[in-house]
Structure 1
Amino acid sequence: MKKIAGILLIISSSLALISQLVNLPEQFNYLSGFQLFASLLIWPLQTISLLLLGIYLVSDNNSTIPVQSGSSFNQDFNPENSNPYDVPSTGLNIISFLIPLVGLIVYLTEKDKSPIKASSAGKSALWGVGVSFVLVIISVIISISIINSLN
């Protein structure tokens, strides 16, 4: 299922990137100033991060965790039985920060198999939401001050 989702993400992100590159000259005609800067900065990051997430899902080789014979799933956490591939991923954390929904999905799907990786992706997603919220508040304050200065 992860590989199918990864392949679909790769295909849709690639098509979106091509479409956005083809329409790039039209954006220069209609947008100006901050809107142009934001659109030229945001859309490549979103598209490339979705593309990287698709590649990550397709190349994920640790989809199963070996379970020792005689062990039960209700045991307390034991570092000797943990997944050796359960390390925080910098690329996944960056994607989770830029697109918090991806971090939430990674956290929910990986929290049982790779708790350390899932926790770091979840924390990155929370940081992304927090930073986005602060930036929205700052932009609203700046917009209100610009509108008031015009009067």
Structure 2
Amino acid sequence: MKIRNYRNDDADFLKEMLLTAIYNPDETTDPKVLLEPELKVYYQDFGTGVYDYGQVMTTNSGARIGMIWCRLIHGYGFFRSDIPELAIAIKEEYHGHGYGTILLENFLKLAKDHNFTGLSLSVDERNKPALSIYEKAGFQKVSQHQDTLIMSLLF
């Protein structure tokens, strides 16, 4: 597996990964939800903001299997106005191999190298694998709304 920086030709993959990141254990998420304003902030004009950073994980042959990205937005994982929100997703057929952990660890180094003060995220508390990855990386619960936790990691 390889990790590379986000490129403009990854825009559709970013949307696909956002759809994957929307954890819904009861049903498949309808792609039409990506048109909702509260989700558009995660991908619209990505790459134009100061804190717009993304990395894509690929197979050795170049097939994209996962992505991690952050933006300074007021999204579902909003914590503070100076803390970018993080999102991560791995294609389902690649779950359970540690790729999410690898992406996250690599991205945390990038964030520190770029002098971020921290990162925040939202995660469904029923998504035990993701929650475990975040907790092992040092993210801590900031607040909770129904099944959704907001977590942060300050540097």
TM over 0.5: no
Q: Which has the larger radius of gyration?
A: 1
Question: TM-score normalized by structure 1?
Answer: 0.31
Query: If each structure's strand is expressed as a fraction of its own residues, which one has the higher value?
Result: 2
